[in-house]
Amino acid sequence: MEISNTTSGSNAAPDKDWWRGAVIYQIYPRSYQDTNNDGIGDLAGITQRLDHIAELGADAIWISPFFTSPMKDFGYDVSNYIDIDPMFGDLASFDTMVSRAHELGVKVMIDLVLSHTSDQHAWFAESSASQDNDKHDWYVWADAKPDGGPPNNWLSIFGGPGWSWNSTRCQYYQHNFLTSQPDLNFHNQAVRDAVLEVARFWLDRGVDGFRLDTINFYFCDEQLRDNPALAPELRNAEIAPAVNPYNHQNHLYDKNRPENLAFLERFRALLDEYPAATAVGEVGDAQYGMQILQDYTKSTNRMHMCYTFDFLSGDRPTAARVGQVLQKFESEAADSWVCWAFSNHDVVRHATRWQVPGEYETQHLKLLASLLMSMRGSVCVYQGEELGLPEVEIPFEKLQDPYGIRFWPKFKGRDGCRTPMVWESTSEFAGFSSVEPWLPIDESHKQLAVAVQADDPTSLVEHYRMFLTFRKGCVPLVKGTLEDINVSGNIVSFLRTHGNETVFCAFNLSANPAKAVLPDQRECELLQGHGFDSVLSGDAVELPPYTAAYVRLG
């Protein structure tokens, strides 16, 4: 099936740079739209709801895994990379979805989970059968220590040792995640070739790019050296919850290996064979994330961009915090291109993490959305974020996530941010399904449904639509440089410049009116159409509570 990478009806050459500054809408397919009445979302449901994404103004969608899987980690445990799990549909329904997205001018990116497979993948079945078969070294196998223990001290992100014993081979296999998610051995060229062929399969089918899960986990240390301990003051819970001993190690040897760079160059070379394919890599590391971002994206023969965790933590984005993160990126990774996100399928929704209760609750979320889409980089918006959906409290007996079950009650897992999308308020299951969904829908979510907010000029979803329209007409916000980061009280400001056009951006992250001083005496024009009211006053712009201002400098 041949699918154009350009908007329907256009004969223009594909824009190879489309990803730079793109707004990517993340879809968690289990929870987007159910069309076959099993309580689980599917590919046909995504096709049905693509108009919402196009109307929002997103440039692309990123779809979390839909491949054949036993679903022990809800699709992030793949048993067949080149087929669709029946719960989501089939290859024909995938082709239909891609075709419809391209008709609407929306690119399609899919989530490739290459660091590990399911233990039900045919590759692992063969590899685990003996120590001398054709795939005996396709996974990371190691002998036990003399005392029978695992070969080193590596830990699993999901809790416990990062090794499990296989009684057929009488060896341990490595797993950074669940015991049912064995890690592939990327030191084996046949493995590297095989996963590149997986990527080629989907590129040939019409996808525009990939989100690469756990991109810094592909290689481990060939010598299997122990990770050193991490000092308590350096422990960081951005990647794993604070109750997880995974945070007690400095992960020098089970991930972040320098051998990964050559593989990423091969992956980029494959992407470059296609008219406008792209990739964003998820960098999961609290200690070395900035350096990895720089290494992985600083040249044109590696990744286009990397997905960062800096704003996925509980740290409230105060002016000081935002300024600190931006200054760090501009000073340490200025040659890199980052993909920002405030929420995703793995963290508490930011409407809850950073809630401002009371009269400014929605206004605060509007400001956060505008800030997210004004920083230098590309953007991921997680489904329901545009509605302001809060985290759902899931009772233990209804938990699905093995991560939450393992660390309950101090860490309740990821189910609360994965509940179904709400399309309408009047039906029992909010227009998502006609039967009880796989996760419960909170009644409070129904009042935030798309149908409730649509066409209400004061709603959050209408703000997203308005701001994305404004942004597309303001090239510096999409592709410009970022300079002159300034923090003054509760205001953070910076300049975005592209060519001869410079826009001053200021954000009042407080419930009090404030003034942002303009950077110089140039002529200035207060821009409109972004959903905020502000006033020029001499050499400053006056900002009401939780608002932003955009000023074009002459």
Output the pLDDT for position 11.
61
Output the pLDDT for position 3.
31
Q: Exposed, middle or buried: residue 194 (CB in 10 Å: 0-12, 13-18, 19+)?
A: middle
Q: Roughly how many angstroms between the first and final C-alpha of the chain, as a whole number?
A: 49
Residue 409, preceding peptide bond in cis (omega within 30° of 0) = yes
Which residue out of 273, 335, 397, 523 is catalytically annotated? 273
Output the pLDDT for position 286.
79
Query: 95: helix, coil or strand?
Result: helix
Q: How many whole angstroms separate alpha carbon 350 and alpha carbon 35?
A: 29
pLDDT per residue over 288-322, tens digit each?
Answer: 888 999 999 988 999 999 998 999 988 999 999 99
Q: What is the DSSP string of 313-372?
A: SS----HHHHHHHHHHHHHH-TT--EEEES--TTS--HHHHT---STTHHHHHHHHHHHH
Which tokens in the block code for residue 257?
């290996």
Output the pLDDT for position 536.
94
CB atoms closer than 10 angstroms to residue 303: 27
Annotate 482-520 with b (16+ C-beta within 10 A) or e (fewer): beebbbeebbbbbbbebeeebbbbbbbbbeeebbbebbe
Output the pLDDT for position 9.
42
Strand ranges in 133-292 using DSSP code E only, listed in sequence order: 141-142, 163-166, 171-174, 209-212, 278-282
pLDDT per residue over 153-180, tens digit each?
Answer: 999 999 999 999 999 999 999 999 999 9
pLDDT per residue over 446-483, tens digit each?
Answer: 999 999 999 899 999 999 999 999 999 999 999 999 99
pTM of this prediction? 0.96
Give, for all 554 residues of the chain, the pLDDT tens digit: 233 333 444 467 889 999 999 999 999 999 999 999 999 999 999 999 999 999 999 999 999 999 999 999 999 999 999 999 999 999 999 999 999 999 999 999 999 999 999 999 999 999 999 999 999 999 999 999 999 999 999 999 999 999 999 999 999 999 999 999 999 999 999 999 999 999 999 999 999 999 999 999 999 999 999 999 999 888 877 667 788 899 999 999 999 999 999 999 999 999 999 999 999 999 988 788 889 999 999 889 999 999 989 999 889 999 999 999 999 999 998 889 999 999 999 999 999 999 999 999 999 999 999 999 999 999 999 999 999 999 999 999 999 999 999 999 989 999 999 999 999 999 999 999 999 999 999 999 999 999 999 989 999 999 999 999 999 999 999 999 999 999 999 999 999 999 999 999 999 999 999 999 999 877 899 999 999 999 999 899 999 999 999 999 98
Query: 280: helix, coil or strand?
Result: strand
Q: Which residues have C-beta within 8 Å of that of residue 431, sequence separation ≥ 6?
A: 422, 423, 424, 449, 451
Q: Within 112-223, where are the H helices?
A: 122-127, 189-204
Is 525 catalytic? The answer is no
- Residue 382, φ and ψ in degrees, nearest 5: -85, 140
Is 273 catalytic? The answer is yes
Contact 363, 547 (CB under 8 A): yes
Which residue out of 85, 111, 183, 213 is catalytically annotated? 213
Output the pLDDT for position 233.
87
Which tokens in the block code for residue 447?
């009042």
Contact 439, 400 (CB under 8 A): yes
Contact 274, 203 (CB under 8 A): yes
> Taking Cα atoms as reference points, which of 116, 122, 97, 117 lies closest to residue 35?
97
Q: How many whole angstroms separate alpha carbon 537 and alpha carbon 534?
A: 10
Q: State the DSSP code for 421.
A: P
Task: Give rounded-to-5 percent helix, strand, coil for the chain.
Answer: 30, 20, 55
Structural domains of the chain ordered from first start? 23-114+189-470 (3.20.20.80), 479-553 (2.60.40.1180)
